[in-house]
Amino acid sequence: AGAALLAKNVKQATFGLEPHEIGTLLKEQEATLSSIREGVIAVDTHMCIRLMNQEAEKILRTNKEEWCGKPIDEILPNNKLRDVINLAQPIYNEEQTVAEAIIMSNSVPIILDDKVVG
């Protein structure tokens, strides 16, 4: 009974996907993000970087291994992501200075089950 309950919980946590399907989805996600010609950075509700694509690495002149898990404020100190997370409202066309260059950024809340998660 315990094994069946555990299996059911694992199945729910993985959205009913099998391990090979999860691996395929992760590979597709990585390929999609690397093909985007704009920098993409995702943060969690604690303002820590969770994901960064290759274009973001180029723009910021850094690498994701160095920054994943660290506060976004350390690399983009003038961001308004706290407002985006707290208000669940996007901010578009915000001017930012990054690595001595001026960029335009869009910040959009990530919402899962009606809750902002990043």
Supply the pLDDT for residue 108: 96
Max CA-CA distance within the chain? 60
68, pLDDT greater than 90 = no
8-45 residue pLDDT tens:
777 777 777 788 888 888 888 888 888 888 999 999 99
Mean pLDDT of the chain: 88
105-118 residue pLDDT tens:
999 999 998 999 99
97, pLDDT greater than 90 = no
Mark out the alpha helices in 1-118 (DSSP H runs).
Answer: 2-13, 19-35, 54-60, 64-67, 81-87
